Amino acid sequence: MIVCLCHAVRDRELDAAIADGAESVEDVGRQCGAGTGCGACIPEIEDRLERAGRACDRGAAGDCPRDLVSVRSRLQSEPRDAA
């Protein structure tokens, strides 16, 4: 299944990046590109990181990498396009 449409990253590539040590959305982006485009795949990346025990606490911005907090804030404040 494709997780990131911007960079055509499949779920197995995302899982491999996490298995190879990615601990944040930024790490995943550096390894396979997912999460570096429109941002629509970031929730899926966060879910997979969380399941792997590598994600920051979503409710505690102080525990999250600064880049992730800024991306999350921007995505939450931007209006969604009606597609």
- The answer to whether position 83 is within a domain reads no
- The answer to whether position 8 is within a domain reads yes
- The answer to whether position 52 is within a domain reads yes
Please list, residue by residue across 31-65, b when 16 or more beta carbons sit within 10 angstroms of its beta carbon and e when fewer do.
bbbbbbeebebbebbbebbeeeebbbeeeeeeebe
Which CATH number is 31's domain given?
A: 1.10.10.1100
Which residue type, as a one-letter code, is found at position 67?
D
- The answer to whether position 82 is within a domain reads no
Which domain, by its residues, includes 31? 2-77
pTM: predicted TM-score of the whole model, two decimal places: 0.65
- The answer to whether position 14 is within a domain reads yes
Model confidence pLDDT, tens digit, residues 13-60: 999 999 999 999 999 999 999 999 999 999 999 999 999 886 554 444
- The answer to whether position 9 is within a domain reads yes
